[in-house]
Chains A and B, each alone.
Chain A
């Protein structure tokens, strides 16, 4: 199996003591990795480092072998991401927003933009300014921007935020579909345990800036009654240490 994401000793500590310490992880192509942890556990920091927004104190992230820290352009060609909050330029329409992003990818044309809007259910709002959008609509547009370039790796930070039930179901279906049909690798963070259980086939638990444990959903569910039990036991075990 091809290594899609390699995270080697990734560390970033903020002056307030928060951050991420010594994260090591290898994610293979086609996996849907769930990054589970409470608020403030370091999930977003880790993802920002993966997307090159934050420089790590030490360590490295490689995407299909290309280092995000050393060879950013090459690494990011394979990546679509939505980090921290789904922002778009509020003074532009949905279509204009996507057009801006499309310029970075020679293969993305107008048809692909419409396709992405269709997939995320935003085609009806194509020519409306983002300023008027609800949180859920912004989230959908963010998703459309992330999948625009048909990336082989998708890094999604709390993608379900603000989505209604229908949206959640759509998104979950989309993730599974992309993973199965196109072999897209996902790295999804969430604090919603149930949701991760349903979506992801591999799960890592972060707590207090450390990756406490990780394993395949299948294996975990065979050992524990639910992912929630697993999470609680991992956190407690870590808390005792």
Chain B
């Protein structure tokens, strides 16, 4: 009897171990819908970044209050890896019925854009080739992405199994999931509610003459739904996500806000990006640094000193931008200091300069000759409308760094002088 007692124990243990190990392994093998979706998303991201030659992404973001649309953004983005060109067309619909459009084209050599606010195409030519790495990035390969992924995995926990997987006849998979208010974890609920609430506040600022119901209290995530379609090639070709937020406004009325996003990946391999025809339209050329012919003119900077508890203007600096042609800028500069301060101030600068702007290089300087006949480096940049920054006497340390050596009482801030 003793033996059998031991035997029963061992048998029970073995049985338990068998059930445990085999089910756990099966569970591991089956994985979760969430894991499959994640794998497919990673695959898709990697393909989009490096493998696919060309494709189009159609996206739509909508914010709705009950049933009326507050904000809708439709975007069609075309990518052509071979020509390193992208084209983006946006249409924005606001709650007050206002519709605006935007157009943006980029290739190796230039960027062309247009908005619905004026009938002009703006063109920027690059001096250097635009770095195509900036074109699309893989969110899963960003720095810290692995850590973020783990945190998200942990927060989601057993909700991973809420992602349903359905195999579609003829290849492909459909993922779908839906969480009701009970299932949304409190943490996600809090963050999402707060985020969307803030978004609506911002939205209220953008659309001034449209009254957006404010959510004042009892804001919570009512429902989250999502759907994704994986095609035969293993690419996520379609994604729909929707978050419904419920809350009360100040009057105590219940409002539902719906934030939704739709992405579609279409025309893989058949997308071609062509530059817009600029022959019969108004074109304004803008240098990479933003300078255009409208910036031609005279700029002034007062030389102000603090003396005996009072501010004293001891002179002024004048910058005259005489011509801007594409990226070429030429002009002159002189300083005028009151004679009694000249000893203290030192030599006045007075020079002319020729400057070629480059867009993608922050180490963009021009050379001038100072009062002693020595060559020095200077930097010219746009500031707020009607202003430029001019930094003189820059000391270049190496290829990536430099140091300002300001002139006395110099803040580099020049304002445009307008003729009365």
Q: A53-74, CB under 8 A of B: which get 1 and which 0? A: 0000000000000000111000
Q: Is B281 an interface residue (CB 8 A)?
A: no
Q: A178-221, CB under 8 A of B: which get 1 and which 0? A: 00000000000000000000000000000000000000000000
Q: Is B294 an interface residue (CB 8 A)?
A: no
Q: Is B372 an interface residue (CB 8 A)?
A: no
Q: Is B2 an interface residue (CB 8 A)?
A: yes
The residues of B that contact A70 with a CB separation of less than 8 Å are 1-2
Bound complex: CA of A69 vs CA of B2, how far in Å? 8
| Nearest opposing residue in chain B for A55, CB measure | B2
Instruction: List the count of A-B residue pairs having beta carbons below 8 Å apart.
Output: 4
Tell me, rounded to whole Å, the shortest Cβ–Cβ distance linking B342 to chain A. Answer: 98
The residues of B that contact A71 with a CB separation of less than 8 Å are 1
The residues of A that contact B1 with a CB separation of less than 8 Å are 70-71
Bound complex: CA of A142 vs CA of B90, how far in Å? 90
Give A38-87 interface residues, CB cut-off 8 Å to B: 69-71
| Nearest opposing residue in chain A for B2, CB measure | A70
Tell me, rounded to whole Å, the shortest Cβ–Cβ distance linking B7 to chain A. Answer: 15
Tell me, rounded to whole Å, the shortest Cβ–Cβ distance linking A55 to chain B. Answer: 10
Give B1-42 interface residues, CB cut-off 8 Å to A: 1-2
Tell me, rounded to whole Å, the shortest Cβ–Cβ distance linking A176 to chain B. Answer: 38
Tell me, rounded to whole Å, the shortest Cβ–Cβ distance linking B1 to chain A. Answer: 6
Tell me, rounded to whole Å, the shortest Cβ–Cβ distance linking A73 to chain B. Answer: 12
Bound complex: CA of A70 vs CA of B3, how far in Å? 10
Tell me, rounded to whole Å, the shortest Cβ–Cβ distance linking B2 to chain A. Answer: 6
Bound complex: CA of A36 vs CA of B131, how far in Å? 98
The residues of A that contact B2 with a CB separation of less than 8 Å are 69-70
Bound complex: CA of A70 vs CA of B2, how far in Å? 6
Bound complex: CA of A70 vs CA of B6, how far in Å? 12
Bound complex: CA of A69 vs CA of B5, how far in Å? 12
Bound complex: CA of A70 vs CA of B4, how far in Å? 11
Tell me, rounded to whole Å, the shortest Cβ–Cβ distance linking A231 to chain B. Answer: 37
The residues of B that contact A69 with a CB separation of less than 8 Å are 2
| Nearest opposing residue in chain B for A69, CB measure | B2
Bound complex: CA of A71 vs CA of B1, how far in Å? 9
Bound complex: CA of A70 vs CA of B1, how far in Å? 7
Tell me, rounded to whole Å, the shortest Cβ–Cβ distance linking B402 to chain A. Answer: 79
Give B174-217 interface residues, CB cut-off 8 Å to A: none
| Nearest opposing residue in chain B for A70, CB measure | B1
Bound complex: CA of A70 vs CA of B5, how far in Å? 10
Tell me, rounded to whole Å, the shortest Cβ–Cβ distance linking B5 to chain A. Answer: 9
Q: B61-88, CB under 8 A of A: which get 1 and which 0? A: 0000000000000000000000000000
| Nearest opposing residue in chain B for A71, CB measure | B1
| Nearest opposing residue in chain A for B5, CB measure | A70
Tell me, rounded to whole Å, the shortest Cβ–Cβ distance linking B351 to chain A. Answer: 97
Bound complex: CA of A91 vs CA of B241, how far in Å? 61
Bound complex: CA of A52 vs CA of B2, how far in Å? 14
| Nearest opposing residue in chain A for B1, CB measure | A70
Q: A158-189, CB under 8 A of B: which get 1 and which 0? A: 00000000000000000000000000000000
Bound complex: CA of A69 vs CA of B3, how far in Å? 12
Bound complex: CA of A46 vs CA of B78, how far in Å? 90
Bound complex: CA of A161 vs CA of B354, how far in Å? 112
Tell me, rounded to whole Å, the shortest Cβ–Cβ distance linking A171 to chain B. Answer: 37
Tell me, rounded to whole Å, the shortest Cβ–Cβ distance linking B145 to chain A. Answer: 56
Q: A85-106, CB under 8 A of B: which get 1 and which 0? A: 0000000000000000000000
Bound complex: CA of A69 vs CA of B1, how far in Å? 10
Tell me, rounded to whole Å, the shortest Cβ–Cβ distance linking A167 to chain B. Answer: 41
Bound complex: CA of A23 vs CA of B1, how far in Å? 23
Tell me, rounded to whole Å, the shortest Cβ–Cβ distance linking B280 to chain A. Answer: 98
Tell me, rounded to whole Å, the shortest Cβ–Cβ distance linking A10 to chain B. Answer: 16
Tell me, rounded to whole Å, the shortest Cβ–Cβ distance linking B147 to chain A. Answer: 50
Bound complex: CA of A169 vs CA of B1, how far in Å? 44
Chosen A-B contacts, 4 in total, with CB atoms closer than 8 Å, are A69-B2, A70-B1, A70-B2, A71-B1
Query: What residues make up the interface of B, taking CB atoms closer than 8 Å to A?
Result: 1-2
Which 4 pairs between the two chains have the least Cβ-Cβ distance? A70-B1, A70-B2, A69-B2, A71-B1
